[in-house]
Every structure is written in structure tokens, then in C-alpha cells.
Amino acid sequence: MKKYSQERKDMILQLVATGKPVAEISREYGIAEQTIYKWKKSNTPVTGSSLTPAQIKQMEKEMTRLRQENEILKKANGYIHEVNLYSKILFIENESNEYPTRMLLRVMEVAPSTYYKELKHTPSQRELENERIDKAILSIYTDSKKRYGAWKIHHQLIEQGFDLSIKRVQKRMRLLGIHSITVKKYHPTKASKERVEERTNLLNQDFSTTSINQKWAADITYISTAKDGWTYLASVIDLYSKKIIGYTYAKQMTTEIVMNALESAIQNQQPTDGLIIQTDLGSQYTSSDFEEAMRTNKITHSYSRKGTPYDNSCIESFHAALKKEEVYQTTYHSYEEAKLELFQYIEGWYNRKRIHGAIGYLTPQQAEDQARQHAQ
């Protein structure tokens, strides 16, 4: 039976508390529904209530309405004021099976008369085909939270059975007024942090692998919050699958956070001998505690050279994607709020949903699963 950390349980229960369906959480995070219900039951306090049944029913109705409107706003983020009427109507049609049409019209700021007038229009065959493509594009784009550009959307459309060129996808996206929030590839810059003396760089920018748990990389990135100031995310990535296999988020940048991230990766992956991990020369990674952990777990430590960020570009590229796709798109009011959002991004999106061209347009989880199957 698979074991889950208390922190992971807490994150899942926070998602349950937001009103998100357990079935959806189960699909997104790969945890059985009955397991989530078991956690929920064991963490539900017994409380009394002085409210009447009618008041409780009305409160539940209002909470449902607010939750649905909030879900629509999140899905339609950027559509309400930035995208043309045609896109709004397509969005409403796509979501009309899940939410009341009147609610969608109100949230999307579309007059009912305008909407129903558009529905009465008799489209040509070409218009019908474009509408089908546009709906699929918007669905993929919305599901990716605006993170996918034309190439990844095109790949997803082909997977769904569409027969169209990348140029047509690009044209439809221009007409819809949508584009990826990731506007450029990651280009590392020289770090300004103080470094210790040079140490052995075994990888020397050779990131090639034939399976999982051969080469890992680790690094720390900074994340700002309004209430708690700077916070820190320490991550470990597998260079074969591109999966974030361990991470720790904390208010202080200490050796403990890189140790916890490493321990999490080891517990999750159970690597065998021969593993190499690449890090920079930061004090956390050159500490005696971290070096002892390397020896204890029979992991070989490789170090980036001073002023050569490409030596650890795999993990830095992940942090760049995290910043562009998640961190720079919102304002975190507190450490606790950021922690839940980062959990959803890493566990629910990056590892399990985000496809990567470098691994054949698979998700990191799919790449890992295939590697484990081939190893059997």
C-alpha cells in the first residue's frame, strides 16, 4: 500500500475544503477516491449547529453559487475583458453542461439577447469546422491555464483526432485572441550569489540518460509573498522524466530545506546505486550535512562551475517555467496560500498534465511510468 506524507494529506484535504470534487482531485493527483474520503472522515470535526434546516439549505445554496462563479472566473481568466465576443460565446457553450447558462452569461458579461442571436445564426460547413476546432483549442488552452502555446495545443489536437496544420492552429489562436503566457525560452544568466571554491563537475552539461534515477538536479528558487516576504522552494528533478521528484517549501533558506527535498526524492524514487545529482555551489549544497546524506545514500555529487548556469540548466529551466506559468501570474498573500498553489502547480499540473516536447510530448509522470514498465 502506497504511503503518503502528512504534508501531502494536508494539501489534498485543503483542496477538498475548497469544494473541489473528490473524483476530480483523485484524477489530477493520482490518489484513490476511497483514500481521500478516508482522510476526510478522519479529519472532520464533530460540531453542533443552531441553524434551522432551511437556513442551512439556503447557506449551502449560496456557497454552491459562489463556488461555481469562482470556478467560472478562474477558467475564464483573461477572457472577460481581453478576448472577443466570439471567444466568450464559445467558452459559454463549452461550459454550459457544467454551469447554468444564466450564470455563465452574467459572469462573462454577455447580454442574453446577444448570445441567443448568435445561436440562431446558420453557419456554413467551414464555419462549423472552425467552431469545432476553436472549441477544442479553447478547452485545451483553458485546461492548461493559458500555459500552452500553438505547438503544444497542435499536438493535443492531433492526439484528439484532428487533422490540421500548425499554421491553422496559430491562425485560429490569433482570431481567438489567445496566446501562451510563456513568451520565451529560458536563457540562464550568471548568478550573483557568493560561491565557495570550485568542485568536481562530473556531468559537464551531459544531461543524457536512458532511464529514470540515473541523473538528478537540485536547486533553490525565491518566491515573494505579501505577508511573509521572501519564501524559498527547494526542488529535485529527474533528468530523464523531467519530473519534480522531491521538493520543500519554507520561509527560510536553510540546509534543512535542501535536505528535506532530497529525502523526499529518495523516499519517492527508491534509487539504486550509480545515481549522480547536480547542484550549484551554494552553501546549503556544500554543507557537511548534505555531503553526509550523499555518502549515506551512495549518491555521487556533481557541482556546477562558478558563473556557468548552463551546468544546472535543467532544474533552473523548471524554476523559470514555474515563475512564468504560475508565480508571475498571481499575488500570494501569505506563505500558506503560496504553499497550496505551488502544490497544485507541481503535483496537479507540472508532473501529471504538462506535456514536454523534450520527452516526446509526454507528461513527466507518463515518462516515469513508461520507464518503470520497461524495467520490469
Q: Is residue 142 a contact partner of residue 71, using CB atoms and an 8 Å limit? A: no
Nearest-angstrom CA–CA distance, 262 and 281: 16
Burial 129-138 (b: 16+ CB within 10 A, else e): ebeebbebbb
Query: What pTM value is reported for the model?
Result: 0.68
pLDDT attached to residue 196: 56
Is 229 strand, coil or helix? Answer: strand
Three-state secondary structure of 130-157: HHHHHHHHHHHHHHCCCCCCHHHHHHHH
φ, ψ of residue 224 to 5 degrees: the values are -90, 140
Backbone angles phi, psi at 232, to 5 degrees: -140, 135
The closest of 139, 134, 68, 78 to 104, measured between CA atoms, is 68
**What is the spatial order of strands in the sheet that 229-238 belongs to?**
244-250, 229-238, 215-225, 276-279, 300-303
For residues 267 and 346, what is the distance between their CA atoms, to the nearest angstrom? 17
Q: Which structural domains are found in the chain, ordered by start?
A: 215-375 (3.30.420.10)
What's the rounded Cα separation, in Å, for the pair 313 and 187?
A: 9
Which amino acid is present at 11? M
Q: What are phi and psi of 229, to 5 degrees?
A: 70, -145
Consecutive H or E run containing 250: strand 244-250
Supply φ then ψ for residue 75, to 5 degrees: -65, -35
Please, what's the b/e burial string for 32-57 (b: 16 or more CB within 10 A of its CB; e: otherwise)? Answer: eeebbeebeeeeeeeeeeeeeeeeee
Cα 188 to the center of its chain, rounded Å: 21
C-alpha distance from residue 101 to each of 90, 143, 193 (Å): 12, 20, 54
Q: What is the pLDDT along the chain (376 residues), one digit of tens a residue?
A: 677 888 888 889 888 888 889 999 998 888 999 999 988 887 765 455 555 677 667 777 888 888 888 888 777 765 555 556 777 887 888 888 889 999 999 888 889 998 888 878 777 888 889 889 998 998 898 888 888 889 999 999 999 999 999 999 999 998 887 888 754 444 444 444 444 566 778 888 888 899 999 999 999 999 999 888 899 999 999 999 999 999 999 999 999 999 999 999 999 999 988 999 999 888 999 999 999 999 999 999 998 877 666 777 889 889 999 998 999 888 898 999 999 999 999 999 999 999 998 899 999 999 999 999 988 7
In the block, residue with C-alpha cell 466568450: 88
Report the pLDDT value the prediction gives residue 66, as an integer from 0 to 100.
Answer: 81
The pLDDT of residue 45 is 53
Backbone dihedral angles phi then psi of residue 363, each to the nearest 5 degrees: -85, 160
Q: What is the pLDDT of residue 50?
A: 57
Residue 82 backbone phi and psi in degrees, to 5: -105, -20
